[in-house]
Amino acid sequence: MRTNELISALVQDQAMRRWRLEGVLLCGLAIGGGMTALGFLAGLGLRPDLESAVMTLRVLLKLVVSLGLLVVCAGLTLRLARPGVPVGGWRWGAPALALLLAGAVAAELLATPPASWSARMMGQNALFCLALIPALAAGPLACLLLALRQGAPIRPGLSGALAGLAAGGMGAAFYALHCIDDSPLFLVVWYGLGIGFVALLGAVLGRYWLRW
């Protein structure tokens, strides 16, 4: 085989592997999302006032941050699963979400009296939030980790953590459709803790399952 033919074959092989890994990850997200949707509808259900609530900025913020985290971390996970592939513009996704959330928190603090901050932060269902987001994210996390085994993550722990953040974002997005605590303060603390737990679990599992 000539050198040019060998290079062409290697390029085609890499392209096939890229599309295969992307397809596997998308399937993992789809299957995990289906599992979460079934569990959500069977055990929780939509909040009664969702039709009107979803038009408010606070509820939209919960959905934008949760789904944004899912998309950004899934994109980063895919790139880390392919050695030599640059992260590119995906690296700016997390800082952008953090700035959006920080701005929402600042607006909340400016618009409400300090005496109400503690109550807004605690909400009515803090412990349920802390438990249900990881529960809803369990299926997507397992599916993403299994899908990542088809790649070659250069940093298994970080890849697992990003998979956990993506799964946590999916779980949080579903939970946001049920949750009646809409304050950005509640979002930062309790959604953040729930998603953070899933990310930590993903990092621990990734260090063992994703090694190659």
| Cβ–Cβ under 8 Å, residues 178 and 136 | no
Q: Where are the alpha helices (DSSP H) in 44-153?
A: 50-53, 57-80, 93-111, 117-122, 126-148
Mean pLDDT, range 162-169, rounded to an integer: 96
Please give the angle made by the CA atoms of 112, 126 and 56, to the nearest 5 degrees: 50
Q: Classify residue 12 by burial, with Cβ atoms within 10 Å: 0-12, 13-18, 19+.
A: exposed
Please give the angle made by the CA atoms of 163, 128 and 178, to the nearest 5 degrees: 80
Domain assignment present for residue 13? The answer is no
Domain assignment present for residue 177? The answer is yes
Q: d(Cα 1, Cα 71) in Å, to the nearest integer?
A: 42
Tell me, what's the pLDDT at 11?
36
The amino acid at residue 66 is S
Q: pLDDT class for 10, splitting at 50, 70, 90?
A: very low
Give, to the nearest 10 degrees, the angle between helix 156-176 and helix 126-148: 130
Write the CB contacts of 141 (distance below 8 Å, at least 6 apart in sequence): 32, 163, 164, 167, 168, 198, 201, 202, 205
Q: How many domains does the chain have?
A: 1
Q: What is the chain's alpha carbon radius of gyration, rounded to the nearest angstrom? A: 19
Mean pLDDT, range 49-68, rounded to an integer: 93
Domain assignment present for residue 87? The answer is yes
| pLDDT tens by residue, 72-106 | 999 998 888 877 777 778 888 889 999 999 999 99
Question: What domain range is 197 assigned to?
Answer: 18-209
Higher pLDDT, 150 or 167: 167
Per-residue tokens: 110: 């400016």
| Cβ–Cβ under 8 Å, residues 90 and 78 | no
Domain assignment present for residue 186? The answer is yes
Q: pLDDT class for 189, splitting at 50, 70, 90?
A: very high
Dihedral pair phi/psi, residue 133, rounded to 5°: -65, -50
Q: d(Cα 164, Cα 111) in Å, to the nearest integer?
A: 33
| pLDDT tens by residue, 122-158 | 999 999 999 999 999 999 999 999 888 887 788 889 9
Domain assignment present for residue 114? The answer is yes
Domain assignment present for residue 167? The answer is yes
| DSSP conformation class of 49 | T
Tell me, what's the pLDDT at 14?
42
Q: Average pLDDT of the chain?
A: 87
Per-residue tokens: 98: 């953090």
Domain assignment present for residue 168? The answer is yes
Domain assignment present for residue 147? The answer is yes
